[in-house]
Amino acid sequence: MEDLQRDLGRLKNEYSKKQAIDNAPGEKWSFLLVGSRGRVLRLHLGWGLAMVVGSVFLMMLILTGIWYLFKWEPDVGGKSVYYAGLEQEIQALQRENHRLMVRVASLEIAMESSEIHSGAESSWGNDWRSSGQEGAAEPEPVYPKKMPPELTGAPPIPEVDIAFPKVALDNYRAGIRGETYGASFNIRNIRNDAVVSGYIVSVLIPREPSFLYPASPAMEVQNGRPMDPQRGQFFSIRNFKDVRLRFGHLDPDLFQANRIFVFNEAGALLHVEDFEVVDNP
């Protein structure tokens, strides 16, 4: 009798605990899963929804990745055609550059030969005649020749930043009046289809390699190039322009060449050329 009462009390306690668990707020949103072997698993509704949403999202990612994988194809043929077209264009520009440089060189030789044989008076001589006293002896214009650096021992000419030529220097003449040395030349637009503008910097190269480059206007020269091209003489041309340089008092015997740099407004080197420094009375 006592055993029955004890078992009855234990069953009542278990039933009351079960009722308390079933009536809990968290357990109302859960359900039981019964396995094949009689195992019972209580699954909360929130965790179930999270698992379903996560599974759907993962499947969407997998399907999207598979779709993009089959859709993407490397466009090897299009890139090869594009690069082949660029290479052909570069080769065409190089051929045109070579042709124009040969043409310019031949024109310069023809112009220099015709001017020397005709004995035409330069604007440099006209400028001296107007500035001098009447009756004074007029110096003859001198046509300095171009000076290759390998013959004079001057520092090598730096390479230009723009390979396609845009400007050329013609009719370079130099002379000395009193204690003033000067030069004049024409800067010409080769392409003649657009305005070219920039800066001209003239540098005298001394015979002694230990000397620094004296420049007009004075500026620092490093690695054979002026450091501040914007301090040079500004020009803007469609055809050509006459340029005159004044170096003031100097001894021409101390210098071996006059190196002229031509930069565009962005500071890129367009043209560079050496001319002889002459000592004419």
Mark 36-58 as b/e (b = at least 16 C-beta within 10 Å): eeeeeeeeeeeeeeeeeeeeeee
The pTM score is: 0.47
Please give the pLDDT value at position 231. Answer: 84
CA-based nearest residue to 202, from 188, 186, 183, 189: 183
Low-confidence stretches of the chain (pLDDT < 50) are 116-117, 119-139, 151, 281
CA distance 225 to 199: 13
Please give the pLDDT value at position 209. Answer: 66
Please give the pLDDT value at position 56. Answer: 93
Cis bond upstream, residue 281 (ω within 30): no
Locate the domains of the chain by residue range.
88-276
